C-alpha cells in the first residue's frame, strides 16, 4: 500500500484566550502521544484548545481537557474526546517548566496545535503569569489604540 507523504500542514489551531489571560514568559514546542484516530481528527482540523491546561505529574507533562473530535470513520476503537494526553519534552525542559510553575501565579498554557513538516502533531506550550483585571483592560486599550492608528494611516 503506497503512503501519501504530502501532509496537510495547514492545521494551525490557536488558543486565542491564552494571550489575553496570561502574560507569556517562555515557550516550548512539545510532541503529543496520540492514538491513530486522534491524529486523523487533528489532520482534519477537528480539535480545540479552549479550557485546556497542562500539569507536571511525576516528572511528565500532561495536557488536560484538550478536545479532539471522534474520527468519523473510526470503529469501536475510536478515542474519547477529552482524555489526558502526555507531552513529549526532554528531562531538562520538564525540570525547568516544573520549577517555574511552582511559583504562585505561574501556569503551563497551551498556545497552538499544529502539524509539522514531518506530519507529526506538535503543541506549543508556554509558561504564563496570570493577568489581573487591570492588565486585561490595558491589553484591550492597547489593541483599540493600535486599530485607531492603523485606520488613520489607511486614510
Domains of the chain: 12-154 (2.40.280.10)
If pLDDT is split at 50, 70 and 90, which confidence band does 124 have?
A: very high
Buried b (16+ CB within 10 A) or exposed e, 18-27: bbebbbeeee
If pLDDT is split at 50, 70 and 90, which confidence band does 85 have?
A: very high
Question: CA-to-CA distance for 102 and 44, rounded, in angstroms?
Answer: 36
pLDDT in tens, 47-65: 888 889 899 999 899 999 9
How confident is the prediction for the chain on average, in pLDDT? 86
Q: In the numeric block, which cell numbers belong to residue 70?
A: 471522534
What 3-state DSSP class applies to 142? Answer: helix
- Residue 13: partners with Cβ closer than 8 Å, 6 or more residues away: 45, 47, 48, 49, 112, 113, 114
If pLDDT is split at 50, 70 and 90, which confidence band does 126 have?
A: very high
If pLDDT is split at 50, 70 and 90, which confidence band does 45 have?
A: confident
Average pLDDT on 17-21 reads 86
* pLDDT at site 4: 52
Does the structure show a pLDDT above 80 at 46? yes
* pLDDT at site 6: 53
Amino acid at each position: 500500500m503506497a503512503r501519501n507523504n504530502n501532509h496537510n500542514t495547514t492545521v494551525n489551531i490557536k488558543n486565542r484566550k491564552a494571550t489575553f489571560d496570561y502574560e507569556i514568559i517562555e515557550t516550548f514546542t512539545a510532541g503529543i502521544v496520540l492514538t491513530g484516530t486522534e491524529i486523523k481528527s487533528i489532520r482534519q482540523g477537528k480539535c480545540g484548545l479552549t479550557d485546556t491546561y497542562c500539569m507536571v505529574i511525576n516528572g511528565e507533562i500532561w495536557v488536560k481537557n484538550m478536545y479532539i473530535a471522534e474520527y468519523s470513520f473510526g470503529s469501536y476503537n475510536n478515542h474519547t474526546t477529552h482524555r489526558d494526553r502526555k507531552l513529549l519534552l526532554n528531562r531538562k525542559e520538564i525540570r525547568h517548566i516544573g520549577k517555574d510553575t511552582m511559583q504562585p501565579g505561574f501556569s503551563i498554557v497551551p498556545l497552538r496545535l499544529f502539524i509539522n513538516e514531518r506530519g507529526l502533531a506538535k503543541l506549543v506550550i508556554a509558561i504564563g503569569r496570570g493577568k489581573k483585571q487591570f492588565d486585561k483592560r490595558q491589553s484591550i486599550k492597547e489593541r483599540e489604540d493600535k486599530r485607531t492608528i492603523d485606520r488613520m494611516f489607511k486614510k
